[in-house]
A and B are shown apart, each in its own frame.
Chain A
Amino acid sequence: MFWKKYFKPYKWQGILGFFFKLVEAFFELMVPVVVAKIIDQGIAKGNTTYIIHMGIVMFVLALAGYGSAIICQYYASLTSQGMGTLMRRDMFEAINNYDYEDLDTLGTPTLITRITNDVNQLQLAIAMTIRLLSRSPFIIIGSLVMAFILNWQVGLVFLVISPLIAFAIYFVMSHTQPIYHRINKLMDKISLITRENLSGVRVIRAFNKQDNEKKRFFETTKAQKDEQVHAGYLSSLMNPATTIIVNTGIILILYVSAIKVNLGTLTQGEVIALINYMNAIMLSMYAFANVILIYVKATAASQRVQEVLNLKPSMVEGSQDMPDSYNHFITFDDVSFSYKEGHALEHLSFTINEGETVGIIGGTGSGKSTLVNLIPRFYDATEGRILIKDQSIKDYQYDTLRHMIGIVPQSATLFSGTIKENLLWGNSSASDEDLNLAINISQSKEFIDKLPDDLKTKIEAGGKNVSGGQRQRLTIARALVRKPEILILDDSASALDFATDAKLRRDIKKMHTTSIIVSQRVSAIMNSDKILVLDHGKLAAMGTHDELLKTCTLYQEIVKSQMEGENNEK
Chain B
Amino acid sequence: MKNKNTLARLMRFISPYKSYLIFALIFSAVNIVFTLMTPVLIGRAIDTMIGKGKVHFSYLSIRIVQIIITVILAAITNYLVGRFSSKMTFEITKDLRDQLFAKYHALPLKYIDSHPHGDLMSRMIADIDLISDGLLQGFTNLFAGVATIIGTIGFMLAINVKIALIVIVLTPISLIVSSQIATRVYKYFQEQLAIRGELSGYVEEMIGNQKVVKAFSHEEVNKADFDEINQRLFVSGVKSQFLGALVNPSTRFVNAIVYGAVTIFGAFTVLNGGITVGALSSFLTYASQYTKPFNDISNVFTELETALACADRVFKIIDEEEIVEPRNAKTIEHPQGDIKIDSVQFSYVPEKPLIDDFNLDVKAGQTIAIVGPTGCGKTTLINLLMRFYDPLKGTITIDGVNIQHMNRHYMRSLYGMVLQDTWLFKGTIKDNIAYGSSNPTDDQIIQAAKNAHAHKFIMQLKDGYNALLQEEGSNLSQGQRQLLCIARIMLADPPMLILDEATSSIDTRTERQIQSAFDEMMKGRTTFIVAHRLSTIEKADKIIVMNDGHILEQGTHKELLAKQGFYHKLYYSQFDTSTNS
Contacts and interface: CB of A to CB of B under 8 A. Distances in A.
Contact of A205 (B45, B53, B109): B109
Contacts of A244: 71-72, 75
A147 interface: no
Given A195-B117, A232-B83, A364-B505, A111 B234 contact: no
Interface residues of B, number: 154
B374 A469 contact: yes
A499 B573 contact: yes
Nearest to B573: A499
Contact of A55 (B263, B425, B538): B263
Interface string A181-212: 00000010011101111111111111111100
A198 B102 CA distance: 12
A43 B271 contact: yes
Interface stretch (A158-166, A215-223, A297-305, A348-356): A215-223
A123 B93 CA distance: 31
Contact of B538 (A115, A208, A568): A568
A205 B389 CA distance: 12
A96 to B, nearest CB: 4
B257 interface: yes
B121 A195 contact: yes
For chain B, what secondary structure do more than half of its interface residues adopt (helix, strand, loop), or is it mixed? helix
Interface stretch (A137-145, A261-269, A319-327, A433-441): A261-269
B82 A501 contact: no
26 contacts: A51-B264, A78-B238, A88-B199, A92-B222, A103-B210, A187-B125, A191-B121, A194-B121, A204-B105, A228-B86, A232-B83, A235-B82, A237-B79, A239-B79, A250-B67, A271-B46, A272-B281, A364-B479, A378-B214, A425-B216, A497-B373, A497-B573, A558-B508, A562-B533, A566-B575, A566-B578
Contacts, number: 444
Given A221-B94, A264-B52, A415 B205 contact: yes
Given A85-B230, A232-B86, A271-B46, A131 B245 contact: yes
Contacts of B201: 461
Given A78-B242, A468-B374, 11 more contacts: A58-B263, A69-B252, A73-B242, A98-B210, A131-B245, A218-B98, A221-B97, A258-B60, A261-B55, A409-B215, A467-B375
B466 interface: no
A38 B417 CA distance: 86
A564 B238 CA distance: 69
A365 B64 CA distance: 81
For chain A, what secondary structure do more than half of its interface residues adopt (helix, strand, loop), or is it mixed? helix
A268 B50 contact: yes
Contact of A214 (B63, B105, B215): B105
Given A76-B245, A82-B234, A108-B207, A526 B82 contact: no
Interface string B560-577: 000000000110011111
B121 to A, nearest CB: 6
A136 to B, nearest CB: 14
A69 B245 CA distance: 9
Contacts of B207: 92, 95, 108, 111-112, 115
Contacts of A105: none
Contact of B75 (A52, A240, A275): A240
B246 to A, nearest CB: 6
Given A62-B253, A81-B241, A243-B74, A563 B578 contact: yes
Contacts of B297: none
Contacts of A202: 109, 386, 388, 417, 419, 423
Contacts of B577: 498-499, 501-502, 523
Nearest to A103: B210
A251 B64 contact: yes
Contacts of B575: 566, 569
A264 B213 CA distance: 81
A363 B508 CA distance: 7
Given A108-B208, A116-B200, A222-B94, A364 B477 contact: yes
